Amino acid sequence: MSKRILILSAVLPVLVASFVSSAPAAEKVKVLIIDGQNNHNWKKMTPPMKATLLATGRFTVDVSTLPSNKAPKEKWNEWKPEFAKYDVVVSNYNDGGKCRWPAERRKEFEKFISEGGGLVPVHAADNSSTDWPAYNDMIAVGGWGGRNAKSGSLLRKKDGKWVADPAPKGGSGSHGGGWEYPISNEAPDHPIMKGIPDGWKHAKEELYNSMRGPCKNVTVLAAAPCKRTKVEEPMVMLIKYGKGSICHITLGHVGSLDAIHCVGFQTLLARGTEFCGTGKVTIPIPAEFPTKDKVSMVPPEKVTWGKGTARLGEGASRSRKTAKVVEE
């Protein structure tokens, strides 16, 4: 047996093993970001969110830009995203409260989620579609867009447990100016939150509070203390809708503030999207995750996704390395 064959026979099982072990990782989670209408600068929001998802190596990302609120009916009839082609939809879309989606699209979307699809509404996406009952169920609570005391319950922590509080008085949706606030981990055993420290400092931004809704099948994952309501407000929620999962993230304002570059936000966006698309979380917590005292803002392409990212990409790099050994 020649030396070359010896090397090959030693390397071949490793080569096969590496392909076998990396096979599931090679299957990326298919994300569709929807945008096109928002009271925020959605054109400024979609690129960094897309960049965050791509930087993890775990996703493919398409963007569907919806017709604006002023678009004629024909434009809406032309909008036919194939939700079923995706694992999860990330929403950077806020119609201001009045849903313009054709009835057929709404039905398709409800079917997509109830049959196991995922949804990640970001920031003002929870201001959207007040008049679409299924959407309110999906997001658990929402604000603005004509919502009021009759729009449902508040989510409130009582005796250490999150409960729906019908609170007959008061509006739905409020925020003050931006500040750097602490966020608590309310569900450290949940796959999205596992390993995330309890209490990290979020980059300066608005703190959404007093939002109301059906509060059905909801788990609060993260919360923050509100200066206005003087209680903890839910910041991130996980909702079940049929077989589908929704990770509602109230964070992520863009404007003069840049919370969308907070590594805490980016981690929740990536892990929440992965969970809603697959039911699992493999994305690690980045090295730059903020601490209790220090905000951490890093552009998406510079975030270190650590060992897990290496693991997700290892099929390619290891096979390249192995191929080099065979050539020698």
Interacting residues with Zn ion (CB under 5 A): 253
**Which CB sits closer to Zn ion, 52 or 127?**
127
CB of 178 to Zn ion, least distance (A): 9
**Which CB sits closer to Zn ion, 205 or 288?**
205
CB of 124 to Zn ion, least distance (A): 6
**Which CB sits closer to Zn ion, 201 or 253?**
253
**Which CB sits closer to Zn ion, 94 or 153?**
94
DSSP code at position 223? E
CB of 35 to Zn ion, least distance (A): 15
| CA 169/CA 212 separation, integer angstroms | 11
φ, ψ at 180 (rounded to 5°): -85, 110
**Which CB sits closer to Zn ion, 209 or 245?**
209
Residues 259, 217 contacting (CB under 8 angstroms): no
CB of 297 to Zn ion, least distance (A): 16
**Which CB sits closer to Zn ion, 226 or 281?**
226
Report DSSP letters for 270-317, one per residue.
HHHHHHHHHS---PPPPTT---SS---B--GGG---HHHHHHHHHHHH
**Which CB sits closer to Zn ion, 259 or 263?**
259
CB of 272 to Zn ion, least distance (A): 18
Whole-Å CA distances, 106 to 42, 125, 131, 303, 318: 21, 16, 12, 36, 44
Residues 233, 148 contacting (CB under 8 angstroms): no
- List, in order, residues 6 or more apart from 54 with CB less than 8 Å away: 61, 300
CB of 205 to Zn ion, least distance (A): 7
| CA 225/CA 223 separation, integer angstroms | 7
CB of 18 to Zn ion, least distance (A): 45
First to last CA, the chain: 16
Buried b / exposed e along 125-160 (16+ C-beta atoms within 10 A): bbbbbbebeebbbbbbbbbbbebeeebbbbbbbeee
CB of 175 to Zn ion, least distance (A): 7
Burial of 217 (0-12, 13-18, 19+ CB in 10 A): middle
User: One-letter amino acid identity for 239?
Assistant: I
Residues 98, 76 contacting (CB under 8 angstroms): no
CB of 204 to Zn ion, least distance (A): 12
| Residue of this chain nearest to Zn ion (CB atom) | 253
**Which CB sits closer to Zn ion, 50 or 253?**
253
**Which CB sits closer to Zn ion, 69 or 77?**
69
Residues 284, 308 contacting (CB under 8 angstroms): yes
